[in-house]
Structure 1
Amino acid sequence: MDHTATSLRDRRLDAVRAWTAFVQQGDDAVGVRPEILSSWRRSAQGTGLQVHGAPLADEHDTAAFWQDSPLQAAVSAVEHELRRSAEDGDLVLAVTDTRTRILWTYGGRVMRRKAETVNFVAGGRWDDASVGTNALDLAGRLDRPATVFSAEHFSPIVHNWVCWAAPVHDPATGERLGVIDLSTTWDRAHPIGLATARLMAQMIESALPDTRQHPRLGPPVSDQGLALTLLGAAEARLDGQRLLLNRRQTEILALLALHPEGLSLERLHAMLYGDAGVSVSTLKAEVSHLRSTLGGAISSRPYRLMLPVSVDVDEVLEQVRRGRVLAAVTAYGGDLMPGTNSPALSELAEVVAVAVREALLADPDPDAVLGYSEIAPYDAEVLETCLRRIGADTHRAVPLLRGRLAAARR
């Protein structure tokens, strides 16, 4: 028998045993992921065992909400790619609102029929109170990608399914708009499923309408303005073109960008030089050079940047605040301006590094930990925490995580 098929059968048998133990004995479920066990406990208070299909919301209300939702325009823009993925993999796809009500579905021939029998259709309410543990509910509730395999679902009507779901956010505001889910039968489970759900969520996010159609979504992304990369290799770009600056000029730009309210000459001097014996006239000369480079876009009294600015530090800290660890690590290019003598930037560097590390220790997503270990290869504690959290799970990242840990301990 194929090794993958055998592994899936063993995994399904373990899931069924754990589910049976929980249903019959309560909390005596061994080897169950914490988020699954928590959902089982919630589901046990509802109708998950007896339900034959998800309850349906009003058809007209669902259709009206979908037509007015920015999700509808985004899904329409990438619908060809979504449909092709569903057909090629015989998947059923679903997009939900924030209450886990399905707004749109599309499925391959076989999975579409299976979905219809359990009301995995527009209007179907797939919160765990209505239909028991499932990936759509978990991804929305935890605000991160989720997998639910076979009998990890609380309701027996979907024990033959595997589902991968990822939340969809408005990139401009961070607001969660819903989730996208991919489902198929358990025997077709593949490690790439969760990554595919993430990719589809990103496709939808990138296709969301801009301000001209949905003002609440904020301005469209543009190459205009100043873009600062401070994490890892420092770089400044103006309207997409790289600026040739020395280290001190980049530090001044960084401090001004991080303080959009503006800085007085005295405060900027203190943040940049600390107690070093550098004259105020030296700082004025550096600012004058920068003002010329930016076409006059630095005001005086206080010093303030007078153009749109984006900084990678803000993106990392915002993702940490949202609890999106993988996104934070993806945006984290390394230490903030290593070797800087600026007291303010040195302090910020420590804040960012600690924030990312603590986020990983609290939520050691394997993909995020692997990305982080490329930047901080000697941080054994983060690798150890991730491997402990995975436990006996045969996650695809385990061999690489163990290899990185062995290297970190040398």
Structure 2
Amino acid sequence: MPAGSDPRRHARVLAQVYCATLAGQAPPALPRRVIDASWRRVRGYGVDPDRGGGAVPLRYEEVEHRRRDSLIGEVLDTLRHGLAGVAHDASQIMVVTDGEGRVLWREGSSAVRRRADRLGFVEGASWREETVGTNAIGTALAVRRPIQVYSAEHYVRTHHAWTCAAAPVHDPRSGRLIGIADVSGPAATIHPNTLALVDAVARLAEAELRTLHHRDLERLRAVAAPVVARPGGPVLVVDPHGWVAAASGCEPVARLPVPDVVDAGGVWLPSLGTCVMEPLPGGWIVRPDPAGEQPATRVRLDLRSAASPTVTLSGPSGSWHHRLSPRHAEILLLLACRQEGRTATELAGDLFGDPTRTVTVRAEMSRLRRHLGGVLCHRPYRFHDRAEVEVAWPADPADLLPASDAPAVRRLRAVTGQPGTGV
């Protein structure tokens, strides 16, 4: 809204512009360029201006998994501290979405939340342009910058009584958009400074993520210190995004162009040529290797202790241990027993007896790959071909992950002799 404009008069003008534009007539004024471009996209998506797209919200369980797996959840307290109280006092709500525009959290005025419920503006709902037309969240996702949408700038008529201001939040490590911070409420609550506030809090959240990243690099540097100190040629230690935590015998650089998907073994990097990459918890050891040697990584899954299943990765640079959650122990066991791999649907059936629970499986695999990305592949999920996998079984098959109720694990316990078949 232009500075100094009367909100009611401006809303009437926007309504006239909206009606004329949708009717194919000459509007009394031109919509903002960003709004005009959004309306054109939305018409191409076929969104109904009277009802929206009608997408079904995610189930509560799926929303919870996304909350736990979403990076933006790590800065929720910062967003909440900066926006939730202000939103409540202004009779608005704070909304936080993931990078796909799915609403994960809502806080603020209870009366406004009830009004939002009637619009379907609820946890789990998709608020992308393709679903609900022009709006601050969906349009910020599309244009990758902060935006405020007021009254009839919304494409769906039932949203004309609303105003919303949204700003994208990016992962400073990868540059990937990880979610949207938004403040929404009745159109009468519009304030010219709301967008600046939302953008400032989003930038503060990114700064906090940057601090967390520096802490992760410090931990990675401490883990890899013995490797870096050991003589044996140039070596670098990088996180999954290629940021360098430590280096020895190499010209120092801030970041290596590591591929999005890295398999343990040889890889060609533009700055170093052929390199051998060995996984370690939270990152990689990178060794320039002109000969192109690709040593195998040994993976030992130790399930002898029901209380503390572990996985150990061993390579030329040493061994790395990672304690497993019960669910991750189940997944690695099933992948060890099926070298050809398992799809998300198959793992959902193995773990829950319900092949439709693929969202849960993908969330768990995403967490696992943060630690073991070098030896785990996807499509289907499996151990890498150059991983030599060994399972240390309990002496009594009944002691195999005894707390697990996964159908495939129950079948493994029933196998006579050494487990490993019959999944």
TM-score under structure 2 normalisation?
Answer: 0.48
